[in-house]
């Protein structure tokens, strides 16, 4: 994609689950194979970092804006807004659309050459199904269908 290290696009997963925490922890890891950009709600990520006492600085980027080289403790974010406020452990059906939008943003970024790979944090299939997405089976199948391929792995 570029002469810089590869861009790993990380979806932050179910906002009430462990996904935001895992995404934040990536910013603190010393040894990474490439540049990381999160796709998620910056307010949610900042709240979760504060709640957990994680020293992570968020850097909002415009959609498709180039991802800078990695700096430990700094997490670039392509923002997607939650549909309603969220607390850890309390699922909200309204946020199913948020979870799917994070996947859509990540897919579009890679297809447009702004990312090299997608890393997906856990999501909650039940919430997505409860929101009316009856055909949803999981990340892998969602990515397969969005990319128009037959084989998933």
Token code pair at residue 116: 């090299």
Q: What is the arithmetic mean of pLDDT over 64-69?
A: 90
Percent of the chain clearing pLDDT 70 (strictly above): 98
Q: Where are the domains of the chain?
A: 7-147
pLDDT (tens digit per residue) in 23-60: 999 999 988 789 999 999 999 999 999 999 999 999 99
The CATH superfamily assigned to 7-147 is Isopropylmalate Dehydrogenase (3.40.718.10)
Beginning with the edge strand found earlier in the chain, give each strand of the sheet holding 117-120 in spatial order: 57-60, 74-79, 35-40, 7-11, 117-120
Confidence at residue 103, expressed as pLDDT on a 0 to 100 scale = 97
pLDDT (tens digit per residue) in 104-152: 999 999 999 999 999 999 999 999 999 999 999 998 999 999 999 988 7
Q: Which residues contact 45 (CB under 8 A, 6 or more apart)?
A: 12, 20, 23, 24, 38, 56, 58, 75, 77
């Amino acid at each position: 994609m570029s002469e810089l290290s590869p861009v790993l696009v990380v979806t932050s997963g179910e906002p009430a689950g462990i996904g935001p925490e895992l995404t934040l922890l990536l910013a603190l890891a010393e040894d990474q194979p490439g540049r990381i950009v999160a796709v998620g709600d910056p307010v949610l990520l900042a709240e979760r970092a504060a709640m957990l006492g994680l020293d992570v600085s968020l850097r909002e980027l415009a959609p498709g804006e180039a991802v800078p080289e990695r700096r430990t403790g700094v997490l670039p974010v392509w923002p997607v807004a939650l549909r309603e406020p969220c607390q850890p452990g309390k699922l909200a059906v309204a946020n199913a659309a948020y979870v799917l939008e994070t996947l859509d943003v990540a897919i579009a970024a890679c297809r447009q050459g702004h990312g090299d790979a997608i890393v997906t944090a856990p999501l909650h299939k039940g919430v997505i199904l409860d929101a009316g997405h009856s055909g949803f089976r999981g990340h892998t199948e969602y990515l397969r269908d969005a990319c128009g391929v037959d084989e998933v792995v």
